[in-house]
Amino acid sequence: MAFAARLEQLRSDITAQGERVLGCCSLATECYFEHDQAKAHAVIAADDAIDKADVEIERASIPLLQMGNSDEYQVRSVLTIVKVNNELERIADCAVNIAEQVAGQARMDERIPPTFRVMANSVLGMLRDANRALITGNPDLARQVLLFDDTVDRFKNEILLHAQEQVALGQFSVRFAFQLTSVTRSVERIADHCTNICEQVIYVETGKIVRHRPEGWSEPERPQP
């Protein structure tokens, strides 16, 4: 099979993996909000298919790099798919971590803070847009995802502070606060992986590097020779 045809198949595979992972994350947040044991176990079970696809995509990428193609964009495309594939697998692991906080656990009486729902929906939107940016080769959409990461960090800090305050006031049990903290950190890590994907989209489409600095995301720059 020619390089171009193999690359197109690889793009199709990574697109399917992105949709698979997005579905897993959506189900994971639902199972947490609803304390739905069946959905939690479905998320955990779905991870096997994601792991299998992860290995298959990585194995399919190696022969393309060995073909010696000299087109810079096509080579960057293969490298980007390899890196995005790894990010997607780690996102799925975060979804499993969320589901494991529900599976086999008794429902607790405390109410999940509204900010968490906003944060979770925002991160699912980041993942959806990261997938779309990759599929369409849209660096502008990728940059919009990067810019939203700081908002997610603020949500996380607000939720963690709220949990500590509620424990101190006796409104949250330590167990519930621990679960909320764990799930919040998993959602925040999903956002971090989304930004990594979008950095790769910008790189493959423009050849430029973008980095996260203390003052915010940098403008994309070409790497120094």
The model's confidence at residue 72, banded by pLDDT at 50, 70 and 90, is: confident
Amino acid, single-letter form, for residue 189: R
State the pLDDT confidence band at 191, using cuts at 50, 70 and 90: very high
Residue 225 pLDDT class (50, 70, 90 cuts): very low
Q: Which CATH number covers residue 134?
A: 1.20.58.220
Distance CA 112, CA 44 (A): 22
* The predicted structure's pLDDT at residue 64: 87
Cα distance between residue 166 and residue 146, in whole Å: 31
Residue 130: pLDDT band (50, 70, 90) is: very high
Q: pLDDT at residue 185 above 60? A: yes
Closest CA to 53 of 13, 19, 5, 23: 13
Evaluate whether residue 223 is within a structural domain: no
Answer yes or no: is 224 within a domain: no
Categorize the per-residue pLDDT at 68 as very low, low, confident or very high, splitting at 50, 70 and 90: confident
Quote the CA–CA distance of 18 and 41 in Å, as a whole number.
Answer: 20
For the segment 24-38, what is each residue's pLDDT rounded down to a tens digit?
A: 999 999 999 999 999
222 falls within a domain: no
Measured distance CA(3)–CA(68) in Å, rounded? 10
Domain that holds residue 65: 3-217
- Cα-based distances in Å from 122 to 2, 17, 38, 54: 40, 20, 24, 25
Question: Per the structure, how many domains does the chain have?
Answer: 1
- Is residue 208 in a domain? yes
Q: What are the CA-CA distances from residue 126 to residues 18, 32, 87, 129 (Å)?
A: 12, 19, 14, 5
pTM of the predicted structure, to 2 decimals? 0.92
pLDDT at 167: 97
The answer to whether residue 70 sits within a structural domain is: yes
Q: Does any domain span residue 206?
A: yes
